[in-house]
Amino acid sequence: MSLDVLVIGGGNAALCAALMAREAGASVMLLESAPKEWRGGNSIHTRNLRCMHDAPQDVLQEAYPEEEFWLDLLKVTGGLTNEHLARLTIRASSTCRPWMIKHGVRFQPSLSGTLSLSRTNAFFMGGGKALVNAYYRSAEKLGVQIRYNAAVDRLDIQDGQFKAAYIGDERIEAKACVLAAGGFESNREWLREAWGQNADGEWPADNFLIRGTRFNQGVLIKDMMRHGADMIGDPSQSHCVAIDARAPLYDGGICTRLDCVSLGVVVNKHAERFYDEGEDFWPKRYAIWGRLVAQQPGQIGYSIIDSKAVGRFMPPVFPGIQADSLPELARKLGLDEAAFMQTLNAYNAACRVGTFDHTALDDCHTQGITPAKTHWALPIDTGPFYGYALRPGITFTYLGLKVDERAAVHFGGQPSDNLYVAGEMMAGNVLGKGYTAGVGMSIGTAFGRIAGTEAAKAALNIKDTEKQRAAA
């Protein structure tokens, strides 16, 4: 029996596509490159979906209207977005949850420490891996064929038409195909090439950690470039946050983030400060610190706090390097003691302490040093002192395939009539740069569902045509 829809990928977008195609009556096979225990791509590290809603819902407070969501997106992308596709995503986010629930996803109120998201984001109970598990269970029950360890390395595309996918020598034909195989952030060679060499002769990307799956090698992005598909997004751009330097090379996920930057100072390997740590609330600033650290020599930074900060930020996954005095801390962190003390003494002397309030943009700031610290500037003077080394952590890449509202892959401006794409491989259409919590899952869910529906439609059309031809 020939296959209607082939879905390449195994995360949220791929599963949404497979489920929708199967529900539309198509026979579906899903190819996940990872083994079963690592299935789900970056989706297993997610925790919520940014949701438009006009009134309070089960786990969503107040309202988050289309216009506000759109303006948020416009702000974080700096206009690098397609309004038509963005609004499509936003509207889809307001109607997709009943379908998600039908397939076994459950929601929970916003987590402790994330009050700022309780209005805008619907949290998955148990997080993204629970969501992925639910979708796989539902897909199995509906009769989607699922293969693990099935890494597709190239596609057979003729005149913009999908013919088959290859796993090594194995050829898998299908009437239509959905690509949802993630970005290329786990491909260290490609990252190295994209980031290039800096003025000091370093290859910064060699010091990056990957926050998500090791399986996003970008094989199919490369293959689609070879086929001349229309691309979108800057390959040197990626979502990059500052994380604990002790995080594992892959799959460190959410817990490796470090939330104490705004409560202290950050120095580079020469023990010098390089940016205003108190510019804005941490949830609004964590995404720029990855790039800031990436631009420092050795791609490393050190967040320094004193005991006044303990208990005021989300507990970190690894304990900080602890010392009873600042010189001792410098030695333990391997920093030049004299330079470190000069930086810290200058900072401490420059603090103009008003009324400290880490829940507001308070009036504690520095005077006469560069860079200034504009809020939450308290002298670092109460031992024990703590230091956390920071590295850039890559969450995802923006380079992808250009699509229309039907999620069709384009060749020379023309949409393919049986090849579709969803998830990280096309998120750049909506999110050209920047990030706002949960928007990746909104895009993946919206376009995964569209791609699945369209692929099923295309496959069933081809079937009808074949039948008519056979009858004639």
Binding site for other proteins (CB under 8 A): 37-38, 44-45, 47, 106, 108-109, 111-116, 123-130, 133, 137, 248, 251, 253-257, 259, 281, 283, 310-319, 358-359
d(CA 277, CA 377): 9
The least distance separating other proteins from the CB of residue 252, rounded to whole angstroms, comes to 9
The least distance separating other proteins from the CB of residue 104, rounded to whole angstroms, comes to 9
d(CA 413, CA 369): 53
Residue nearer to other proteins on the CB measure, 210 or 220: 210
Can you give the three-state secondary structure of 167-223, one letter per residue? ECCEEEECCEEEECCCCCCCCHHHHHHHHCCCCCCCCHHHHCEECCCCCCCCHHHHH
DSSP string for 69-82: HHHHHHHHHTT-S-
Residue nearer to other proteins on the CB measure, 255 or 341: 255
Euclidean distance between the first and final Cα of the chain, in Å? 22
The least distance separating other proteins from the CB of residue 385, rounded to whole angstroms, comes to 17
The least distance separating other proteins from the CB of residue 24, rounded to whole angstroms, comes to 25
Residue nearer to other proteins on the CB measure, 283 or 298: 283
The least distance separating other proteins from the CB of residue 33, rounded to whole angstroms, comes to 16
Q: Quick one: which of 241, 243, 249, 251 has its CA closest to 213?
A: 251
The CA dihedral of 407, 408, 411, 416, to the nearest 10 degrees, is 180
Beta strands in 342-432 (DSSP E): 351-352, 365-366, 385-397, 400-401, 408-411, 414-421
Q: Which two tokens stand for residue 227?
A: 């086929």
Q: How many CB atoms neighbour CB 355 within 10 A?
A: 8
The least distance separating other proteins from the CB of residue 362, rounded to whole angstroms, comes to 14
The least distance separating other proteins from the CB of residue 147, rounded to whole angstroms, comes to 18
The least distance separating other proteins from the CB of residue 318, rounded to whole angstroms, comes to 8
Residue nearer to other proteins on the CB measure, 223 or 306: 306
**DSSP letter at 308?**
G
Q: Which helix (H) or strand (E) holds 282?
A: helix 282-294
| Strand pairing category for 170-173 and 408-411 | unpaired
The least distance separating other proteins from the CB of residue 134, rounded to whole angstroms, comes to 8
Residue nearer to other proteins on the CB measure, 56 or 248: 248
Question: What's the farthest any 2 CA atoms get from each other in the chain?
Answer: 89
* CB 110 within 8 Å of CB 117: yes
Residue nearer to other proteins on the CB measure, 25 or 315: 315
Residue nearer to other proteins on the CB measure, 283 or 383: 283
Residue nearer to other proteins on the CB measure, 233 or 252: 252
Residue nearer to other proteins on the CB measure, 10 or 428: 10
The least distance separating other proteins from the CB of residue 47, rounded to whole angstroms, comes to 5
* CB 20 within 8 Å of CB 449: yes
Residue nearer to other proteins on the CB measure, 2 or 382: 382
Residue nearer to other proteins on the CB measure, 388 or 411: 388
Residue nearer to other proteins on the CB measure, 192 or 214: 214
Query: Residue 470: CB partners within 8 Å, gap ≥ 6?
Result: none
**DSSP letter at 363?**
S
Using alpha carbons, list the distances in angstroms from residue 264 to 307, 344, 443, 454. 10, 10, 35, 51
DSSP string for 141-166: HHT-EEESS----EEEEETTEEEEEE
Q: How many CB atoms neighbour CB 257 within 10 A?
A: 21
Q: Quick one: which of 394, 390, 457, 401 has its CA closest to 427?
A: 401
